């Protein structure tokens, strides 16, 4: 699923935990590991990093440390493109302050502009994170079949206990409001049909994926998908949310937040953004 996994490293309190997390993922997905450091390459720095890599017992043949100088976000994304990275792992704070939200922190900027899939860990742990409850966005979008397929592969690899696929009825209020011209029975049928259509949509996608070892629950809701996903994740205490993204978010999206931006302002849990 991920041939190359990348992690930007700096001497921060979270570095050890993040290294443990990517090491586990690289073993699970049999991936090469790319570590990116933005800063001047000195002998002292080099030996410090070597010591850390040795401590984590990273496979030397499959691990590459890349040094870059310049603007962190630009450089990290450049390495991802050059090295054809499939998954970039990043640590991020759960909540973004108002100023940082509009200006963009390094973590959020990476998420917004990354050319590859991004796994954002809000609380990376040295003993690694357990992805027991996974929520996948099943709302009808062009990228959704791919997201569900990737989410299922990821869930199997991390041995998730329960996978929830949340689908949203688009403009439920408007549809039911206009259905208000009908009789009681017709309204009930319309309501039932709207839910059934969304169930059918997800079930049709699942037919083409091997999910035999997964416990899957399809849930249908009404409202804005990103907001509903956030609420659902918080309600069930999800460990990971899998969503897709096929667009680059801009400042304008932050001014009038929608979809993914709704999620990025306050991350409900760890977030895997799948890019095709």
Q: Which of 33, 88, 84 has its CA nearest to residue 59?
A: 33
Nearer to another protein, 99 or 174 (CB): 174
For the chain, helix, strand, coil in percent to 5 are 45, 20, 35
Report DSSP state, residue 259: T
Q: Shortest approach of another protein to residue 260 CB, angstroms? A: 11
Strands (E), 106-249: 117-121, 133-137, 162-169, 216-222, 240-244
Q: Shortest approach of another protein to residue 95 CB, angstroms? A: 15
How many positions of this chain bind another protein (CB under 8 A)? 27
State the Cα angle at 92 between 267 and 167, rounded to 5°: 30
**Piece of the chain touching another protein by CB under 8 A; list 17-25, 56-64, 73-81, 250-258:** 250-258
Q: Residue 274 forms beta bridges with which residues?
A: 244
Map tokens 């199997």 to a residue.
156
177 in contact with another protein (CB under 8 A) = yes
Q: Which of 172, 195, 199, 232 binds another protein (CB under 8 A)?
A: 172
Q: What's phi and psi for 142, nearest 5 deg?
A: -60, -35
Q: Which of 120, 72, 129 has its CA nearest to residue 95?
A: 120
Q: Which of 207, 205, 146, 199 has its CA nearest to residue 168?
A: 199
**Piece of the chain touching another protein by CB under 8 A; list 58-66, 105-113, 116-124, 172-180:** 172-180
Q: Three-state SS for 233? A: helix
- Could you say which residues in the range 195-234 bind another protein, by CB under 8 A? 197, 222-224, 227
27 in contact with another protein (CB under 8 A) = no
175 in contact with another protein (CB under 8 A) = yes
**Piece of the chain touching another protein by CB under 8 A; list 123-131, 152-160, 163-171, 203-211:** 163-171
245 in contact with another protein (CB under 8 A) = no
Per-residue interface string for the shown chain with another protein, residues 64-93, x marking contact by CB under 8 A? ------------------------------
162 in contact with another protein (CB under 8 A) = no
Q: What's phi and psi for 134, nearest 5 deg?
A: -110, 135
Binding residues vs another protein (CB under 8 A): 140, 169-182, 190, 197, 222-224, 227, 253, 255-256, 258-259, 262
């Amino acid at each position: 699923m991920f041939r190359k996994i990348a992690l930007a490293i700096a001497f921060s309190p979270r570095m050890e935990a993040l290294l443990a997390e990517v090491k586990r993922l690289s073993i699970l997905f049999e991936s090469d590991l790319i570590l990116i450091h933005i800063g001047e390459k000195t002998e002292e720095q080099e030996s410090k990093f070597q010591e850390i890599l040795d401590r984590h017992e990273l496979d030397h043949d499959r691990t590459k440390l890349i040094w870059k100088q310049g603007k962190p976000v630009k450089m990290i994304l450049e390495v991802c493109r050059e090295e054809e990275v499939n998954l970039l792992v990043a640590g991020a704070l759960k909540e973004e302050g108002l100023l940082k939200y509009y200006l963009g922190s390094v973590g959020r900027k990476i998420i917004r502009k990354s050319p590859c899939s991004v796994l954002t860990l809000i609380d990376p742990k040295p003993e690694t994170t357990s992805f027991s409850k996974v929520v996948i966005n099943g709302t009808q979008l062009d990228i959704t079949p791919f997201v569900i397929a990737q989410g299922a592969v990821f869930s199997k690899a991390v041995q998730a206990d329960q996978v929830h696929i949340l689908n949203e009825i688009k403009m439920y209020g408007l549809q039911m409001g206009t259905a208000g011209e009908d009789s009681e029975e017709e309204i009930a049928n319309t309501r039932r049909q709207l839910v059934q259509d969304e169930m059918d949509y997800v079930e049709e996608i699942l037919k083409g994926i091997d999910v035999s070892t997964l416990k899957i629950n399809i849930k249908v809701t009404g409202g804005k998908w990103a907001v509903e996903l956030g609420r659902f994740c918080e309600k069930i205490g999800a460990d990971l949310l899998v969503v897709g993204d096929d667009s680059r978010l801009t400042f304008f999206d932050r001014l009038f937040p929608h979809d993914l931006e709704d999620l990025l302002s306050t991350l409900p849990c760890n977030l895997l953004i799948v890019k095709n």
